[in-house]
Structure 1
């Protein structure tokens, strides 16, 4: 018996030593796993905080994501949720570097907003390689869910296909068939121009002039004079943010559009662009939007809460940041894991029914399909308040607004 007790004691001592060295799966490994389960679930909001797109998403995107986290309860899987944010300066290399640092050093699970198409495309490739999730709201190039789609990315709010389809169809149907397109010379501008050309021609129109301008241009005079002299009925702006605002203000200074011969069309105008322009300059503009704060009681309720926190009404991008973050957190809770592919599958499985979208659905290519809206900017006399800018002319059903899978070049789509 004495020998048995001595051997048993030795075996227990050896097991204890192995556990202390982390050799046993029940020792340090288990303790580390338990500790990891208590670490924060981190979401990184990568956006333009100070440049030409800052009013579209920027600090407001951070506010929207934080609101979603707070409304969700601040925890998921029993772990606190932490929101990080950074300014990518509209530089793809800066954005990818920040995202890599967040993933490698902060264990960020989901990258949000991703304003600027070049930044979004770079971060999407990184999240694919690192098996994390990228939810794009700010950027809008339609290649995100077409040839550049990934199994780890979602395009939530809008894209150039839907923007071009809504506005081009409406303008050509109103008899404006000859188009000059003034496009920002980077990925987003090129794709918006290409998508617009497709829909103009499909509706029976023609692009007679295609003019590129550098991003963040302050003087549009030479570009607008080129477009004006082209003989086009429409001068379409395939740009965004401050570039769109500056171009429309310059057009007004030149009197373009005032004589009825030419119409200036913004292919991607958001709420804060309209506010910056003022209704006197923007009145009569046709535009396509993904969401508007004054659609119904639910949209107004969210907008009021956002305005109380941020001081402005939310843009469609900021509303999308809230909705997509909430959808992500619900999917994580339902999946019971942060594993990217499991969560992505759950996000595609679960419909989106909230103030942003009714019956929204995430397809295999990552496109969140929802209704879009054709709107016209009100005349100053017709506006009933400081944010009452649009008359909704048409609801474009989601299955008509976005590129059908039958036309998709996404490698995830089975033909």
Structure 2
């Protein structure tokens, strides 16, 4: 009887495995990484995000539910229409199950709409607009790495403590820049300080001198850069040429900065700049181990928080597919919200109804050249920001999913 019971148990187990395998569409799980691979944001995500996804697949797999995991990638050139065309083709013709990264906020908002309609998981890492978990949230969209709200909160609060009571914004003229200025302005006004003006520049503008001079002439105590990547680096380099931000009466801050931006500036120019991040590769043993693995694949370049976030998102997605026993987006989305996010950069982070990953953020300061102990040793963590403080309160985002639940 025991022998018969054992045989029956084995049969049932095999049947369960067979059932799970049958739930994988197209007999393969396909992941698509899309971002800017040739423009001003290519260092932040780019091919590095593809490599991070590849590392996650290698660490998890190379299979899930007994099926092969495939990775595809594309450059959307920072154009929402190009991104939309690629993602539609991936889903309709190539059977892609999950989209990762997204690049910038304008392209991400377009992708979010498509993945919502087509019922595909979207793991967002590069795009920062807090609207992605606000009025444009999706049951299939997950904001993994940072947001304009979290960045603005950390940096503005640090400056407000130093008495920064007048602000002027130099803002990239598209969805991300608008959201970053909006979110930062809310913290400034709530604190009783004042936004005296703003100016918007085109994405990827090479000459920012006229915009910077307007900011300087505003006499604001803080000139806040609501841009990213190459735009931030160019803003800081050109500001230095004009001596902007060097006086005791006026400083310049970057509301979003990544380690690749520090590298582009050089520590001599970047030293002392304070910014917020969800990942610093030298922070602990686990982050250093990932950093060295990544650098070995990427010609010595350290991972950004965006690239680390892609790894985190792809790994969590695969764990959710495994737990759900299917790659069906509805079942996987439920599993992603149920499972805690755990990896080298994340410890037991939950995912809210609006898709926000509730991870800690870190306030870091760029080191001086004498403080650096080796290549890409650029950051010192000066404060840890708890998830409850870092992320926008759930009730304030305007996410329809949350409103529906409240009803």
TM-score (norm 1): 0.90
Residue in structure 1 matching 2:197, options 184, 209, 212: 209
1:82-102 deviations in whole A, cap 9, x for unaligned? 100000010001001000000
- Deviation string for 1:175-227 (max 9, x for gaps)? 12211110000000000000010111223321111111111011111000000
TM-score scaled to structure 2, two decimals? Answer: 0.92
Output the CA distance in 2 between the equivalents of 1:121 and 1:221: 30
- Aligned match of 2:263: 275
User: Against the structure 1 CA distance between its residues 67 and 259, is the aligned structure 2 distance closer, same or farther, given a 3 Å change threshold?
Assistant: same
Change (3 A) 1:79 1:200: same
Identify which of 357, 363, 372 aligns with 1:383. Answer: 372
2:225–2:253 Cα contact (<8 Å) kept: yes
- 4+ runs of 1 displaced by more than 6 Å? 33-38
Residue correspondence of structure 1 range 3-82 to structure 2 within 5 A: 39-82=27-70
Q: Is the 8 A contact 1:132 1:340 kept in 2?
A: yes
CA offsets 1:90-130 (integer angstroms, 9 cap, x no match): 00010010000000111000000001111111111111111
Q: How many residues align?
A: 384
Question: CA offsets, 1:381-410, max 9 Å, x none?
Answer: 222222111221110001110011121200
Distance in 1 between the 2:23 and 2:263 partners?
49
- Kept in 1: contact 2:25–2:327 (CA 8 A): no
Q: Could you tell me which residue of structure 2 aligns to residue 310 of structure 1?
A: 298
Q: Which residue is equivalent to 1:358?
A: 347
RMSD over aligned Cα atoms: 1.5
| Counterpart-to-counterpart distance in 1, 2:395 and 2:73 | 37
2:4 corresponds to which residue?
none
Q: Would the alpha carbon gap of residues 145 and 38 (structure 1) be closer, same or farther in structure 2, given more than 3 Å must change?
A: closer
Distance 1:93 1:324 in 2: 24
Partner SS for 1:359: strand
Distance in structure 2 (CA, Å) of the matches to 1:347 and 1:276 = 36
Structure with higher Rg: it is 1
Counterpart in 2 of 1:219?
Answer: 207
Which segments of 5 or more consecutive residues in structure 2 lack a partner in the other structure? 1-20
Equivalent pair of 1:217/1:243 in contact (CA under 8 Å): yes
Q: Distance in 2 between matches of 1:59 and 1:315?
A: 12
CA distance in 2, matches of 1:119, 1:35: 30
Within 5 Å, give how 1:149-228 maps onto structure 2. Answer: 149-228=137-216
Shift of 1:37: 6.3
Change (3 A) 1:338 1:245: same
Answer yes or no: is the 8 Å Cα contact 2:24–2:326 preserved in 1: no
The question of 1:402 aligning with 2:406 is answered no
- Contact conserved, 1:172 with 1:204, CA < 8 A, in 2? no
Secondary structure of residue in 2 paired with 1:124: helix
Tell me what 2:111 maps to.
123
Contact 1:38 1:78 in 2 (8 A): no
CA contact (8 A) 2:23 2:325 kept: no
CA distance in 1 between partners of 2:200 and 2:397 (Å) = 27
Q: CA deviation at 1:36?
A: 7.5
CA–CA distance in structure 1, aligned partners of residues 282 and 369 of structure 2: 17
Q: Secondary structure in 1 aligned to 2:122?
A: strand
Comparing 199-208 and 367-376, the one that deviates more: 199-208
Name stretches of at least 5 consecutive residues in structure 1 with no aligned partner.
1-32
